A = this chain, B = another copy of it.
Amino acid sequence: MAGHELDRAFAALADGTRRDIVSRLTLGDATVGELAAPYDVSLQAISKHIRVLEVAGLVSVTADAQRRRVHLEAAALAGLVRWIERHQRAAEARLSLLEAVLADLDSPTSPNTTPTKGKTS
């Protein structure tokens, strides 16, 4: 997933209304009107939100007469998870490595390998 794609996808999910729409779409495809119904904002505002989600690749929209069917693209969500988890795991791995080093300093298993600075606190 390229940088500007991540930009758009994260930005798309940085809005509660759009996350609501994503939640709604996990129950099945819907038209723009159906998606707009729960909100008291204008239909045009929801239409804009859907366009943002579409440009971000999070939903696809297919024409069905004068209606538009909006479909959640779960694969794009998977791309986001990949990015986040890569960094989350890297940070956790580094942390556990640090803890291991600290533990080793605290209780040196092989006494001879303890350099002069090795001190029990």
Contact = CB atoms under 8 A, between A and B. Distances in A.
Interface of A: 3-4, 6-8, 10-11, 13-16, 19, 22-23, 25-28, 72, 74, 77-78, 80-81, 83-85, 87-88, 90-92, 94-95
Nearest to A95: B74
A113 B70 CA distance: 33
Contact of A26 (B8, B26, B94): B94
Contacts of A77: 84-85, 87-88, 91
Q: Is the interface of A mostly helix, strand, loop or mixed?
A: helix
B26 A3 contact: no
Contacts of A27: 90, 94
21 contacts: A6-B14, A6-B16, A6-B19, A7-B14, A7-B16, A8-B14, A10-B11, A11-B14, A14-B14, A19-B83, A22-B87, A25-B91, A26-B90, A26-B91, A27-B94, A28-B94, A74-B92, A74-B95, A80-B84, A81-B81, A84-B84
A4 B13 CA distance: 11
Contacts of A28: 94
Nearest to A9: B14
